[in-house]
Structure 1
Amino acid sequence: MSSVVAPWIVSENLAGLQSQAIGLAEAAGLPTELRVLKPAAPWKWITAKLWPNPLAAVADSIRTPRPDLVIGCGGMAGAVLAALRRQSGHRSVRVVQVQNPRMDIRNYDVIVANRHDELTGPNVVVTRTALHRVTPERLAQESDRWWPHFARFKRPLVAVLLGGSNGRYRLDKDVGARLAADLISMIRHDDVGVVVTPSRRTDPAVTALLRDALTPLGGWVWDFSGDNPYFGMLALADMIVVTQDSVSMISEAAATSVPVMVAPLPGFSRRQGLFLKTMKDEGRVRPFEGRFAAWPVTALNDTPLAAAETKRRLGL
């Protein structure tokens, strides 16, 4: 690319969105600069696809000089990328959108979308899993780094990844109590170690409930102090349990070489159902029913394939 400006990653201030775009860039070997989109009032209260001038709404976040390539993830990024491409006359700035932008796909040079989005087109790259930053190299590094911390727990070691309630699924205190009961049953029947990481979306009452229930049995729940153990848990687990609400966390768990079990939650999402069907058909996940299970698995990670295809389509 002719510009000396590193490609941008643009996204709202949401780690889950940023990690997908960063994962694509890392897999493509592209050095990038993160630009966090912070819309000014009144646009921060209005959905981005209704903005009459997206570039003005986030002007402070995208000051020039601009690069030749911009990668975005999420709906707000989709609106900004489309506007950047229109402003450049579809020539000087090429844009790559991660996730279905829910706008005319002709606004983008490349769209990388999960199969459950049911999006097709000449510029669409379809993946089975969400994009992410889990690689064999990162897992090996994190295994070495976190082994001293997790060595004290029983093996097999089960890592539990907690999401949270959203518009489709519910993970409140009552649901958390049922999950805690299943984890306790597994500890007692299968003599396993259990370590848990909540996310920023997890209800603090659920986190506290699990901590109170599991700690007396030798379990551990991260309290958000110190370094984030997430990658270390992925690297060192013998089995991973993930709550049903998060496509991203299920995809990251599936990139490891251990069995992944999905903890069901009350609610419904057609898209999530399609995603889980794909993962089950691939033999990569099974429902969690309160017992440890092991079966032959192969790491499933479409991020490198998506990165290679994106580079090919851009001529990089």
Structure 2
Amino acid sequence: MAVNLPLSIWTVTDGRVGIENQALGLAEAIQRLTPAEITTKRLRFQHLFDRWPNALRFWPRAMLADASDRIEAPFPDIAIANGRASLPFSTRLKHWSGGRTYVVQLQDPRTDLSAFDLVIPPLHDGVIGPNVFSILGSPNRITSERLEQEAAPFRTQLAELARPRIAVLIGGRSKAYDMSAATAERLADQVAQAVETSGGSLLLTFSRRTPGAARAALMARLDGVPGLIWDGEGPNPYFAFLEAADHILVTADSVNMAAEAAATGKPVQILALDGDGGKFDALHAALQSRGATRPFSGTLESWTYAPLTETDRAAREVLARMRA
């Protein structure tokens, strides 16, 4: 596939942070390898069509809300799509662009894979095919340069906190896991004891998926523990917490947060939740086998390992296949 530089890259998602960051992470990794210009496309359907199944979205471009980004010519060299809302567009982009656009779909699209040039799902999803390149975890935007840049506005505030600094990344209830108030109280007791025993500081952030009762239980128990708890107001210190942390604790439900934490090269321990992990058990087993994570049972552990660089590996694969 002959292309001119710089490459034009679209990320095509519904704009949710976790979904969009995966696509941006891969786009930025490609940009680190070759000159490229990235355009972010956020898709929003009209309210009438918002909950329609994709099988009935025959004319997806006509169904977009006025505030949505347009999917129209000139089409890019590469489109990186992610999430259910992207599928009515990513499955048609090859046709709309007359074959110009190399279409990459992240995660398991659960549809005919032949619509895409390349599918990049998590290894634990078990997707197989000639145009499938599975990675451990999910693509992310973690680089040492980005962490330093994002941490800059918080550096003075964080510098005052005692070490070791313990970042705690709280996810939420999912199909595989539950996060009840009782579960949150158990986690809070473990975290508080670890911070107090170490003489260090807490850096805690919640996900938008964290249930209100679980959030309240955590905040009540951890109130007064040295450190910072982000309450959702003001700039998000998520990247700053990763940069400042000496230890990282992550709830078991989040593929994104586990992969992002493992990309730092810092000790990552997994906070157990109630429920049957299902395919997530394979993810955590793989991360442990790689030496990136260990279970957390109340005691902080220190070790070293090579940071997870699956996003860069995927970027190299995109360019190699596109140019083959």
TM-score when scaled to structure 2? Answer: 0.90
Instruction: Flag the 1:57–1:233 CA change in 2: closer, same or farther, 3 A.
Output: same
Q: Give the unaligned 5+ runs of structure 2.
A: none
Deviations 1:258-282 (A, max 9, x none): 1001111112242211111110111
Partner of 1:46: 52
- The 10-residue stretch of structure 1 (109-118 or 188-197) with the greater mean CA deviation from structure 2: 188-197
Contact 2:147/2:239 (<8 A) preserved:
yes
Which residue is equivalent to 2:186? 178
Q: Name the amino acid aligned to 1:32.
A: I
| Residues 210 and 221 in structure 1, CA contact (< 8 A), matched pair in contact too | no
Question: Cα deviation per residue 1:172-192 (whole Å; 9 max; x = unaligned)?
Answer: 322111111111221233322
CA distance in 2, matches of 1:129, 1:166: 17
How far residue 110 of structure 1 moved from its aligned partner, in angstroms, is 1.3
One of 267, 272, 281 as aligned partner of 2:275: 267
Counterpart of 1:150 in 2: which secondary structure?
helix
Question: Does the CA-based 8 Å contact 2:268-2:294 persist in structure 1?
Answer: yes
Work out the CA distance in 2 between the residues paired with 1:58 and 1:268. Answer: 37
Is 1:98 the counterpart of 2:106 in the alignment? yes
Matched, 1:147 2:155: yes
Q: 1:63 & 1:119 partners in 2: Cα distance?
A: 28
Among residues 40, 43, 55, which one is paired with 1:34 in the alignment?
40
User: Are 1:11 and 2:17 counterparts?
Assistant: no
Q: Distance in 1 between matches of 2:279 and 2:308?
A: 19
Q: Percent identity?
A: 32
Displacement of 1:302: 0.5
Shift of 1:144: 4.5
> 1:242 touches 1:249 (CA, 8 Å); kept in 2?
yes
Are the counterparts in 2 of residues 110 and 124 from structure 1 also a CA contact under 8 Å?
yes
2:82 equivalent to 1:80: no
Tell me how far 1:198 sits from its aligned partner.
0.8
Amino acid at match of 1:215: D
Distance 1:217 1:7, change over 3 A: closer
Match of 1:298, SS state, is: coil
State the SS of the aligned residue for 1:129: coil
Rounded to whole Å, the distance in 2 between the matches of 1:141 and 1:305 is: 23
Contact 1:49 1:75 in 2 (8 A): no
Partner of 1:209: 217
In the alignment of these two chains, the number of paired residues is 315
Of the structure 1 ranges 79-88 and 219-228, higher mean CA displacement relative to structure 2 is found in: 79-88
State the distance in 2 between where 1:154 and 1:61 align.
Answer: 45
Structure 1 portions without partners, runs of 5+: none
